[in-house]
Structure 1
Amino acid sequence: MKNWFHSWRAAVRIARRDAWRYKGRSFLVLAMIALPILGVSAVDLTLRSSELSASESLDRMIGAADARFNDAAVAGVPILQTPDGEMHTPAKDYGDKAWPGGPTDVTKTFPAGAVVLTDSSGSAKLTTAHGLLQTEVRELKAADPVARGILTLLDGRFPEKADEVAATSHFLETSGLKVGSALSPRGSDTTYRIVGSYELPNDLKTDQVNALPGAFLAPYAKAVEKAGLTAPGVSTTYLVKTPGGFTWNMVQQINTKGVAVTSRAVLLDPPADSEVPLYQKDGWANFETSSGAQAAELAALGTVVGLAMLEICLLAGPAFAVGARRSRRQLGLVGANGGSRSHIRAIVLSGGLVIGVAAAVTGTVLALILTFALQPLLEDAMGQRFGSFDIRPLELLAIALLAVLTGLLAAIVPAVTSSRQTVLASLTGRRGVRRSSRVLPLVGLGALLLGGAIALYGSLVSDQFVIVAGGSAIAELGVVAMTPALVGLFGRTGRWLPLSPRLALRDAVRNRGRTAPAVAAVLAAVAGTVAVSTYAASDDAQQAAEYTARLPHGAVSALVVEDGGRDVPAVREAVQRLFPIDTRADVNRVSVGKPGCSPYGEGAGCGRYEIVIPPANECPLWARSDRGEDPSEKFSKEERRKLAEDWRCQEHSGGFYGDGGLLVGDAKLLNVLGIEDAGAEKALAEGKVVSFSKAQLDRNGKVTVKVITDTEKALKAEQEGKPAPGTLTALPAHQVSGDPNSYGVQALITPAAAKAAGLSTVPLGSFYSTERMPTAEQRQKLDGEIAKLGSDVDFHLEEGFVGESSIVLLVLTVFAGLVTIGAAGIATGLAQADAEADLKTLSAVGAPPRVRRTLSGFQCGVVAAMGVILGSAAGVLPAIGLRLTEERERLRFYEESLDEGWGAMSSPPYVPIVVPWETLAALLVLVPLGAALLAALVTRSRGAVARRAAI
């Protein structure tokens, strides 16, 4: 034990002194290992600090209260809830019948003597320094001790009077206002003064103002309704504080009155699943992450960590190998003085241990410092405050041990190689004749064949992506194992090359111990990049084929559904002024009820309308059943497949932006949409409806519009499988000839014809054709004008399909290029250090000074070129396998949809395989060339003058 301890202590001391002597090489390896440790440790600290404990979460949710009461909106019938109160359902099983709906008087469920705060939320458009801003309004007495913790005061104070509000810091930043400024909601004469700023710890990016209960939302609703518009909805909960809190039994008693409760006591000490009646109902089990999913996550995490360690070992291993060769005389002296092979291995391994420990300490300390220093920035990026700066020593220790393990693994091969050298060879500096292993290439070839077979099985037989990915990973590791042999095959091409590249290639082949790991590292990075790039380019091509344009290329639409189209004139003027408009087509929508009603009939006094499809034109697969049965069950699979080709089942009727299917406009809209039909223009002039859907017309060539004034009755009837009650109006119509692309417009009627038919209309917006594509500056100006209005404008400029993979491909190419240049540069630097004697010999025999620079460039280029070529070949195959697997899965889904009768809603799958030639060209040509030029530029033409004995 004493000898073992002393020998390792001596080995560590020697390794420490050697690392300090060669600071450049040591710092390079340390940085390679420490950077991943720094990143992983920082992520661990950030995630742990952002995770809130149950107590911290409750403080932000219910403040100092004991519970939050929430109306379940089931008309007071008993409910069952989850312990956190987030999910609930009526206790009674209503089967196919509709659940009861309606408010509950929550105030009757409060315990005697309880302290209660109301917490109401709504929304309003508020005046700002730039215009209007849609903002959340919260009525809560935030200064009350019960609410402490929900809102964090930053400046000033919380409101104390009815005409005062506080605002979140994000709202003040967005609106251009400050504490002391005045604001007012749109449509109201009431003005409020901002007396303080605050933040929501769980959502730092919320635009919200806080007012006293009853001071804002009720007056604003009255002002909106007075203007004939629909008031925004308001939700109210109650913060309740009572001695003793609320146990699970008390929560269940309150549930019998139709009220859901979020209790502090229950969340801090939750009941067992067997004590939660809701979990005993079918479909309401407490689903947690399955063991299979957890195993898959751990496997994915282990794969990523393993690949990262492999990459670091491949890059750091040659550095240890060269360091061992440069210290071979020192190692030879150890052997000459009685040291065994185990002592030499211990010295080289200690080098990895010393660098690993230094990298672990450096990475962990830097992660702690940077995470603590950047905490405000991290919180802003995540949108929430940390609960506390949570340090998990065991987790950080485990991450740090990865650095130590990586350093040891990187030094294993150099340690074994150094220990096999004889003492005489070490002392004289002779390398002897070294043969590459014949077993490793065979193992690699076996892994390549096995991985290829697994990937082939996964792509042609199985539907599991993980099989293809796993097989591809095994095959790639096989290629890595075959890299030394493949480097030797590359060396046979040197006979046809000039002097400098021939010397570089032969040096790479002769020193495979440092060349092969660098090539393998480049191979792994390039293979992953090519695989992802090929998949991304193929997916881009698939999305381009499936893309459905909303408008003709270059056309513009700007629609406003809310507030009865109040802001439509301003939007029209802004687009007309800022964009190069050719034709403008104004459109309205049919409105049922008050002018401010939405197209869906939401709110009191609001209705909706729909175009009635004649029974003869309904698809048999989707026909309405009075019993609520699925009509497709009446047909066999063969009949469903046949009906999928029926024109009635291929007609996709429906409204344009929720307008019910009938747009109010004139012939200009046909011009903007690029529809050329003289009969359509004539029909509009005659007051007819122009229909783009064959299913809408009955036998008499008319379109029937149903006006539904009572939305609740209509909804109840539809739930029972009956047609919604309403007033029917038949209008003469014209069917557009051919099959033109109407871009979602189902039918068009002029304003005069709509008025004659008794249909009320409100402004919706406009469609525009442009003389040329608007510039980015024009778009930004228009966005600013629309933002000032504060309206929810559905704006669309048709640019055609715009792929997102171009940025991904660029990032991946840059990443692979950096790894390639880095690995090749490391190999080149090690080659220069390893072959210094050869370079001095070249200089001594009369070689020009530029040979040194040229040789260095070609050494770097050779390593980069070999790695890129092998990596490109290894990366295309897994991408092809994944695409074939996806094609089989989509084809199976399409066949099932045909059998179920939904085939008309989809099209046969198109899953192309596209090779990103631009990316491959950049990797195959530009990256090796850039690496060679960079290495040549940074290399000195002349080396140091050597003594005769050193030559």
Structure 2
Amino acid sequence: MSGVRGVPFASWRVAVRIARRDAWRNKGRSLMVLAMIALPIMGVSAADITIRSSQLTQQQKITRDMGAADARLRSSGMGRQPVFQSPDDDQVAPVHEDSDAAAIQDDTDSVDPRTAIPAGARWITDARAYAQIHTRSGLLETEIREFKADDPLAEGVVDLDRGRFPAAPDEMIATQAFLKSSGLHVGSRVTAYGFGRGYRIVGAYDLPSSLSTEQLTALPGSFIAAYDTARRAAGADVASMDAPDYLVELPGDFTWSQVEHANTLGVTVSSRAVLLHPPADAQVPLFSVHGGREQSAQDGAQRAIAVAAAATIAGLAMLEICLLAGPAFAVGARRSRRQLGLVGANGGDRRHIRAIVLSGGLVIGAVAAVVGTALGIGLTALLRGPLEGYVGTRFGGLALRPAELLGIGGLAVLTGLLAAIVPAITASRQSVLASLTGRRGVRHANRVLPVVGLGAICLGGGVAVFGSMRTDNNLVVAGGSAVAELGMVALTPTLVGMSGRLGRWLPLGPRLALRDAVRNRGRTAPAVAAVLAAVAGTVAVATYAASSDRQDRDGYQARAPRGVFVVSSGTNQGRDLPAVRAAVEKELPVSGRADVSRLAVGSRICDLFSSQKDCGSITVLMPKANQCPMDGPDGPEALSVGQRRALSTDWRCARNGGQLVIDSEGGLLVGGPAVLHALGVRDGAAERALLRGETVLFDRADLDGGRLKLEIDADMSAAVPRNADGSSTGGPTGTVKSLPAHLSGTQQPYGVVAVIPQRTAEAAGMRTVPLGSLFTTSRMPNDSERQALSSDMAKLGTNADSYLERGYEPQGRLVLLALTIFAGLVTVGAAGIATGLAQTDAEPDLRTLAAIGAAPRVRRTLSGFQCGVVAAMGVVLGTAAGVLPAVGLRRAERRHEWTFYHQMIDQGWGDVRDVPHVPIVFPWTTMVLLVVAVPAGATLLAALVTRSRTELARRAEG
């Protein structure tokens, strides 16, 4: 090395050459470090390519919407009045706000978009309707589209997968989603219910931006008009919706001034030229009049959050790689200490030693960058189909951003260098004699690092708690949690050392593994810290996601218990209900049925919610003492701020019945105990009350001296008593019926106010009419059963409505799933790497065990427990560290929600019933899997892949 002392680049070339030869000589250790760096780089590059591929360009969005056309014109749906629109046609508002409703009512005819098409343009139509299509199981409500999909103007709107486009009026193409749901295939013949004309499916296609849409496409004029005619002849509702859209091709561009002219005719336009080159905000009347740019600000905030999340993930990836690769380089330097000693003995100084070790990080980092990026590209291409199916939209293509991929590759090189810095400094400080003789010297524990770590935990935890209780800024909570987590990482070596005291109660194998981990904290602590960081992030995201999911679940308003099927008929006095009930019991897995009726008053029995004057009405009379002051004639504006805030805890204002299970006037149902069972009410006292003839009441605000009072107005045209100023007196206007009532402990189940026994209604002189039934099921009905029921009900020609309560359906959380898998892989990988390093570093000890007669399985057992010890330590510490940021963020969100709630109440705009609900839920299942399953799996995996016997080696290895 003395010959290149004065030539820096030459010395680095020599160092790189030595590092490359050393990496090639020690392939096992090099592959292990390479995998540590390449795997996260593969994940980051795959994520980058996936995200960029899923982000469509403006040109791609336009092509999927209007193909090769210059504009898409559609009716505004607001009559013939002029409208304002945004350049992207997502926001539309009437020019005269006060005339909106009147215009729609007075001018029911849809505007023909052709009135806004410029002269000399070529166009094609895009019309849509809904129809019930016969399937293998029954009937399926399907969107029918009339669209010439093979026209050059339509290129890119649909993606033909197989078959061909329709060429005759009796041909259709179907989406893959429709074929899957219906059980049909290309070549099948389809018909619509009540329409004798048949169509053959000649092709299968996808809508690139909506893969889950069930749709059939026919040639223009081949279905909707004829279907509507047949429906009108049968006295049924027609299928067509608004006027069709028009895809327009012009000799030039469809300019913004032409868009504004179309808006004056009640037509909105999505123009290619305007979308690619939008006008300034000052030229858009909608933005100045209606403030249409608020959504853009939200989009900017979401982009900022996405950038921050990406930076955080990249930072954590670098931290974990450094924590894992650093000990590997340190062990490699110790294994190469004789070689490094020879460099020093031949004139090399500390700079050359550091250069050789750093070159190892440079060489492996560069190779890992290439391998990881290549694997990321291959992984994205391999998983493209499943990813598109999961998000429900096609990618715009495999988008490779060279600058971003080079940056990710540079991250691998930088990480390799950073991971080798500490081992390089440590190796350069060893004397030549110690390196040649193999002596490690006396190692002392760092006494400053635990103090720094404990201080960081206290500081970060305090900042996170302060941020969650005193501020609305989530960055304060996130920053404090990050500092606390880094403090936990710094404290890890001390915690690993303290865990050694547990060895006295463990069997031989775990005791040896634990003592080896404690004795070699230099490689154990970083691996534990890496597992800690991965698990902490997963637990934090899982806790936040579980809490958000509970919030969404609690906010979901079901119309019935899950699995309950509801049928109702408010017309024809329920004459078709017996046949409908028989069809439901035939096709669905029914386990119980509760029939309900409704009260009918007036000179004649009318349909439900009929507005004819001789139909009458029923109103529940609430005692004035139980009425919420916010519902007074003057509204909340008549109350002071203090009074409005006080009402937030007033039971009279906390009433919220939710959606009504079945349409009935006043939320009143007539039935027996079976109705309570179907509503999920388990109240024996209420059932006995119904059998005694008492009305079961679910809202104590309606209870008046142990009775329920109903106002029966037999003539809706009767004059309402009014005060001198013209306001209503608030007193009864009709006959008051008083029914004995029993108050149930259940608060308005699914919007039902009361259940009245049949004989009680008859005794009070009130008529009842069959309304519907509530069916409980033994399991959730599947698609085939529901289609069969639709077919049976269509054959009956009934107008009965039906509804199946599916319950809250959580959205798929791809981020949580990805983080859980990532945490598991990092945990097992870190533990496995630490085990491999331990075996490499402690090979002499293992040979000593074999020499003194230890059974071969001891080596396998020791390897498994070494891996399990690292995994268990990291998972337990990571689980504890991950709870803090999630709880802090949820508390900060709760504070923000309450602040907004009080602001709305103070300004008189809010409803005291909308009390913020921000729960904190711990994902115990995820935590148990991490704490128990991951260490156990790591232990078993390490034991299975470890060889039982050692290899023969020379007596001295240097």
For normalisation by structure 1, the TM-score amounts to: 0.83
Instruction: Work out which of the residue numbers 88, 95, 98 in structure 1 matches 2:92.
Output: 88
Residue 182 (structure 1) aligned with residue 192 (structure 2): no
State the superposition RMSD in angstroms.
Answer: 4.7
Instruction: Work out which of the residue numbers 306, 310, 314 in structure 1 matches 2:323.
Output: 314
Per the TM alignment, residue 841 of structure 1 is displaced from its structure 2 partner at its CA by 3.7
Instruction: Work out which of the residue numbers 176, 200, 205 in structure 2 matches 1:198.
Output: 205
For 1:22-77, what per-residue CA distance to the aligned partner results, in whole angstroms no more than 9, with x for missing partners? Answer: 22222222222222222332333333334333333323222333222222233323
Residue number in structure 2 paired with 1:702: 710
For 1:797-817, what per-residue CA distance to the aligned partner results, in whole angstroms no more than 9, with x for missing partners? Answer: 89xx99999999999888656
Report SS of the residue matched to 2:259. Answer: helix
Q: Which moved further from structure 2: 832-841 or 541-550?
A: 541-550
Q: Which moved further from structure 2: 166-175 or 564-573?
A: 564-573
Residue number in structure 2 paired with 1:303: 312
Q: Which moved further from structure 2: 573-582 or 517-526?
A: 573-582
Q: Mark the CA change 1:678 to 1:279 in structure 2 (over 3 Å): closer, same or farther.
A: same
Q: C-alpha separation between the residues in 1 aligned to 2:177 and 2:614?
A: 37
Residue number in structure 2 paired with 1:867: 874
For 1:838-883, what per-residue CA distance to the aligned partner results, in whole angstroms no more than 9, with x for missing partners? Answer: 3334444565656544544443344334334433443444455445
For 1:313-349, what per-residue CA distance to the aligned partner results, in whole angstroms no more than 9, with x for missing partners? Answer: 2122221111111111111111111112122112111
Residue number in structure 2 paired with 1:832: 839
Residue number in structure 2 paired with 1:240: 248
Q: Which residue identity does 2:267 align to in structure 1?
A: V
Q: Which residue identity does 1:471 align to in structure 2?
A: G
Q: Which moved further from structure 2: 865-874 or 12-21?
A: 865-874
Report SS of the residue matched to 1:417. Answer: helix
Residue 79 (structure 1) aligned with residue 83 (structure 2): yes
Residue number in structure 2 paired with 1:171: 178
Residue 276 (structure 1) aligned with residue 284 (structure 2): yes
Residue 339 (structure 1) aligned with residue 343 (structure 2): no
Answer whether contact 1:578 1:782 (CA < 8 A) is retained: yes
Per the TM alignment, residue 457 of structure 1 is displaced from its structure 2 partner at its CA by 1.2
Q: Mark the CA change 1:415 to 1:265 in structure 2 (over 3 Å): closer, same or farther.
A: same
Q: Which residue identity does 2:324 align to in structure 1?
A: L
For 1:152-187, what per-residue CA distance to the aligned partner results, in whole angstroms no more than 9, with x for missing partners? Answer: 445555445544433334323432333443222212
Instruction: Work out which of the residue numbers 116, 126, 135 in structure 1 matches 2:142.
Output: 135
Answer whether contact 2:711 2:737 (CA < 8 A) is retained: yes
Per the TM alignment, residue 529 of structure 1 is displaced from its structure 2 partner at its CA by 4.4
For 1:130-164, what per-residue CA distance to the aligned partner results, in whole angstroms no more than 9, with x for missing partners? Answer: 21111111122334443343334455554455444
Residue number in structure 2 paired with 1:585: 594
Q: Which residue identity does 1:208 align to in structure 2?
A: Q
Percent identity, please.
Answer: 51
Superposed counterparts of 1:350-365, under 5 Å: 350-365=359-374
Q: Which residue identity does 1:119 align to in structure 2?
A: D
For 1:484-535, what per-residue CA distance to the aligned partner results, in whole angstroms no more than 9, with x for missing partners? Answer: 2333333456577776655544433332221111121222234344545666
Residue 453 (structure 1) aligned with residue 462 (structure 2): yes
Superposed counterparts of 1:534-545, under 5 Å: none
Answer whether contact 1:116 1:239 (CA < 8 A) is retained: yes
Q: Which moved further from structure 2: 64-73 or 938-947?
A: 938-947
Residue number in structure 2 paired with 1:441: 450
Residue number in structure 2 paired with 1:717: none
Q: C-alpha separation between the residues in 2 aligned to 1:258 and 1:382?
A: 35
Q: Which residue identity does 2:341 align to in structure 1?
A: G
Q: Mark the CA change 1:189 to 1:310 in structure 2 (over 3 Å): closer, same or farther.
A: same
Q: C-alpha separation between the residues in 2 aligned to 1:377 and 1:465?
A: 34
Residue 107 (structure 1) aligned with residue 114 (structure 2): yes
Instruction: Work out which of the residue numbers 134, 147, 151 in structure 1 matches 2:158.
Output: 151
Q: C-alpha separation between the residues in 1 aligned to 2:429 and 2:278?
A: 63
Q: C-alpha separation between the residues in 2 aligned to 1:365 and 1:333?
A: 38
For 1:520-574, what per-residue CA distance to the aligned partner results, in whole angstroms no more than 9, with x for missing partners? Answer: 122223434454566667778888999988667x983433679999997676446
Per the TM alignment, residue 193 of structure 1 is displaced from its structure 2 partner at its CA by 3.3
Residue 5 (structure 1) aligned with residue 9 (structure 2): yes
Residue number in structure 2 paired with 1:413: 422
Per the TM alignment, residue 278 of structure 1 is displaced from its structure 2 partner at its CA by 2.1
Q: Which residue identity does 2:426 align to in structure 1?
A: T
Instruction: Work out which of the residue numbers 49, 55, 59 in structure 1 matches 2:59.
Output: 55
For 1:629-664, what per-residue CA distance to the aligned partner results, in whole angstroms no more than 9, with x for missing partners? Answer: x71110123433565666654554674344444566
Instruction: Work out which of the residue numbers 68, 71, 87 in structure 2 matches 1:67.
Output: 71
Residue 45 (structure 1) aligned with residue 53 (structure 2): no
Per the TM alignment, residue 20 of structure 1 is displaced from its structure 2 partner at its CA by 1.9
Superposed counterparts of 1:838-877, under 5 Å: 838-844=845-851, 852-877=859-884
Residue number in structure 1 paired with 2:273: 265
Per the TM alignment, residue 679 of structure 1 is displaced from its structure 2 partner at its CA by 6.2
Residue number in structure 1 paired with 2:396: 387
Q: C-alpha separation between the residues in 1 aligned to 2:457 and 2:878?
A: 14
Residue number in structure 1 paired with 2:433: 424
Aligned residues: 914
Report SS of the residue matched to 2:804. Answer: strand
Q: Which residue identity does 1:432 align to in structure 2?
A: G
Residue number in structure 2 paired with 1:766: 774
Report SS of the residue matched to 2:226. Answer: helix
Q: Mark the CA change 1:385 to 1:323 in structure 2 (over 3 Å): closer, same or farther.
A: same
Q: Mark the CA change 1:370 to 1:708 in structure 2 (over 3 Å): closer, same or farther.
A: farther
Residue 734 (structure 1) aligned with residue 739 (structure 2): yes
Per the TM alignment, residue 224 of structure 1 is displaced from its structure 2 partner at its CA by 3.3
Answer whether contact 1:131 1:790 (CA < 8 A) is retained: no
Answer whether contact 2:619 2:666 (CA < 8 A) is retained: no
Q: Which residue identity does 2:82 align to in structure 1?
A: P
Per the TM alignment, residue 126 of structure 1 is displaced from its structure 2 partner at its CA by 0.7
Q: Mark the CA change 1:704 to 1:164 in structure 2 (over 3 Å): closer, same or farther.
A: farther
For 1:672-698, what per-residue CA distance to the aligned partner results, in whole angstroms no more than 9, with x for missing partners? Answer: 3556356655769xxxx9865576799
Per the TM alignment, residue 431 of structure 1 is displaced from its structure 2 partner at its CA by 0.9
Instruction: Work out which of the residue numbers 671, 675, 684 in structure 2 matches 1:666.
Output: 671
Answer whether contact 1:680 1:736 (CA < 8 A) is retained: no
Unmatched 5+ stretches in structure 2: 718-725, 795-800
Answer whether contact 1:522 1:820 (CA < 8 A) is retained: yes
Q: Mark the CA change 1:27 to 1:216 in structure 2 (over 3 Å): closer, same or farther.
A: same
Report SS of the residue matched to 1:249. Answer: helix
Answer whether contact 1:611 1:703 (CA < 8 A) is retained: yes
Answer whether contact 1:641 1:901 (CA < 8 A) is retained: no
Q: Mark the CA change 1:588 to 1:111 in structure 2 (over 3 Å): closer, same or farther.
A: farther
For 1:384-414, what per-residue CA distance to the aligned partner results, in whole angstroms no more than 9, with x for missing partners? Answer: 3343433221111112222222222222221
Answer whether contact 1:459 1:884 (CA < 8 A) is retained: yes
Q: Which residue identity does 1:272 align to in structure 2?
A: A
Instruction: Work out which of the residue numbers 637, 640, 647 in structure 2 matches 1:636.
Output: 640
Unmatched 5+ stretches in structure 1: 710-720
Superposed counterparts of 1:582-661, under 5 Å: 583-587=592-596, 611-612=618-619, 614=621, 619=627, 621-623=629-631, 631-640=635-644, 649-652=653-656, 655-661=660-666
Q: Mark the CA change 1:533 to 1:177 in structure 2 (over 3 Å): closer, same or farther.
A: closer
Q: Which moved further from structure 2: 503-512 or 325-334?
A: 503-512
Answer whether contact 1:690 1:734 (CA < 8 A) is retained: no
Residue number in structure 2 paired with 1:285: 293
Report SS of the residue matched to 1:384. Answer: coil
For normalisation by structure 2, the TM-score amounts to: 0.82
Residue number in structure 2 paired with 1:713: none
For 1:680-718, what per-residue CA distance to the aligned partner results, in whole angstroms no more than 9, with x for missing partners? Answer: 55769xxxx986557679999334479999xxxxxxxxx
Q: Mark the CA change 1:215 to 1:60 in structure 2 (over 3 Å): closer, same or farther.
A: same
Answer whether contact 2:696 2:742 (CA < 8 A) is retained: no
Q: Which moved further from structure 2: 541-550 or 252-261?
A: 541-550
Report SS of the residue matched to 1:167. Answer: strand
Superposed counterparts of 1:766-915, under 5 Å: 766-768=774-776, 774=778, 782=785, 785-786=788-789, 793-796=802-805, 819-844=826-851, 852-882=859-889, 884-885=891-892, 888=895, 905=913, 911=919
Q: C-alpha separation between the residues in 2 aligned to 1:9 and 1:790?
A: 82
Q: Mark the CA change 1:835 to 1:645 in structure 2 (over 3 Å): closer, same or farther.
A: closer
Per the TM alignment, residue 478 of structure 1 is displaced from its structure 2 partner at its CA by 1.1
